[in-house]
Amino acid sequence: MNKEELKKWVSVQPKVELHLHIEGSLEPELMMELAKKHSVELPYQSIAEVRQAYDFQDLQSFLDLYYLGASVLIDEDDFYQLMWRYLCQCRADNVVHAEIMFDPQTHTERGIDFSVFMAGFKRAISQAKQEWGQSCLLIMSFLRHLSEESAIDTLKAATPYLSDITAVGLDSSEMGNPPEKFTEVFKMAKALGLKRVAHAGEEGPPAYIWGAVKTLDVHRIDHGVRSIEDPALIEFLVESQHPLTVCPLSNTKLKVFEHMQQHNILTLLDLGLLVTVNADDPSYFGGYLNDNYHALIDNLPIERSQLKQLLINGFKASFLAENLTETWLAEIN
């Protein structure tokens, strides 16, 4: 197959998405519409200006705009719209199952209660399930630039909603905020029966990946591309098969890699790590899940068998029940 044929093929295959921040799917159109609705002042005059501002040097320069953008999300319908539009994109990309992260503290810190965003998310999720059988679950992420005490308060505030939350995660500014800062809250989450994931090794060193695995007892690592710097860690990850949720367009937009041609995803895959492809913050990084696969096809000497392995890995790395995973795997051709 040539590159165009590979792109067409991968686009129609069933896929899962495991690393997606719902706040990072806020498109400039909805951002401007909601800013107008709530009279929120943004430093942009037009949708084009919003897009122009998305020129990042590193993770923090992105996070500053991501939190600013999220300030327009205020009432239940805003959160419904946000989730609904992402789920419609899942349908378009044939993402048959999505494990979606949300950042409660981004909203509770602004005085917006769990009852508001959870109601909006749940309404969209129920509608997508009813209309076309969309499968998804929620991951509640703690902001690592805030204190562990704030994360514990967030976990407590989530108590009435735990039946709708599958896992906890850890995101935001990585450097200087190691996993060990959140040891207690991850222990509490485990005791509550929640699964665990954490961002590690995006900008942070391999020691943060070790910390996430050994101290937070995570099921998956979000990003993890800097694992390549530590041969003992690579050996461990090959053996343990802890999945890495890699986000190619995110990594180039945030300059983890200067160019997609330098991305190490194929090296990690060939070493035997359980690598998956994901979109992270699609509105900010220039594309949804199929766009990420297409960027790999355009820039790397990736073969159909490797694409197929990445698709399979997504299902294997998911929190789907084994029988459902098997059913979906049989549909990849």
**Residue 27: contacted member of ligand ADE, Zn ion, none (CB under 5 to 8 Å, by partner type):** none
Count, residues near ligand ADE per rule CB under 6 A: 11
First to last CA, the chain: 14
Q: How far is the CB of 225 from ligand ADE (least distance, A)?
A: 11
CA distance 113 to 132: 30
> By CB under 6 A, what part of segment 2-21 binds ligand ADE?
21
CA distance 162 to 165: 5
Binding mask 182-221 for ligand ADE (x = CB under 6 A): -----------------x--x-------------------
> What DSSP line would sit under 256-315, residue for residue?
SSSSGGG--HHHHHHHT--EEE--BSHHHHT--HHHHHHHHHHHS---HHHHHHHHHHHH
Q: How far is the CB of 102 from Zn ion (least distance, A)?
A: 12
Q: Which of 31, 32, 34, 59 binds ligand ADE (CB under 6 A)?
A: 59
CA distance 271 to 195: 26
> By CB under 6 A, what part of segment 106-165 binds ligand ADE?
none
Reduced to 3 states, what is the DSSP secondary structure of residue 195?
strand
Q: Which residues of 300-323 are buried (b: 16+ CB within 10 A; e: fewer)?
A: bebeeebbebbbbbbbbbbbbeee
Please identify, using beta-carbon distances, which residue of 136 and 320 lies nearer to ligand ADE.
136
Q: Which of 281, 282, 288, 289 binds ligand ADE (CB under 6 A)?
A: 281
Residues 6 or more apart whose Cβ sits within 8 Å of residue 81: 30, 34, 120, 124
Please identify, using beta-carbon distances, which residue of 22 and 96 lies nearer to ligand ADE.
22
Question: Which residue in the shown chain puts its C-beta closest to Zn ion?
Answer: 280
Q: How far is the CB of 199 from Zn ion (least distance, A)?
A: 6
Does 280 interact with Zn ion (rule: CB under 5 A)?
yes
Binding mask 155-184 for ligand ADE (x = CB under 6 A): ----------------xx------------
Q: Is the dihedral of CA 17, 112, 197, 281 positive or negative?
A: positive
Q: Which residues of 166-175 are buried (b: 16+ CB within 10 A; e: fewer)?
A: bbbbbbbbbe
- The number of angstroms, rounded, from the C-alpha of 104 to the middle of its chain's C-alpha atoms is 15
Clarify whether 202 is annotated catalytic. yes
Q: How far is the CB of 187 from ligand ADE (least distance, A)?
A: 22
Please identify, using beta-carbon distances, which residue of 53 and 324 lies nearer to ligand ADE.
53
Q: How far is the CB of 248 from ligand ADE (least distance, A)?
A: 12
CA distance 89 to 152: 33
Residue from 202, 203, 258, 303 carrying the catalytic annotation: 202
> Which residues are catalytically annotated?
202
Site residues, Zn ion (CB under 5 A)? 280
Q: Which residues bind ligand ADE (CB under 6 A)?
A: 21, 24, 59, 66, 171-172, 199, 202, 250, 280-281
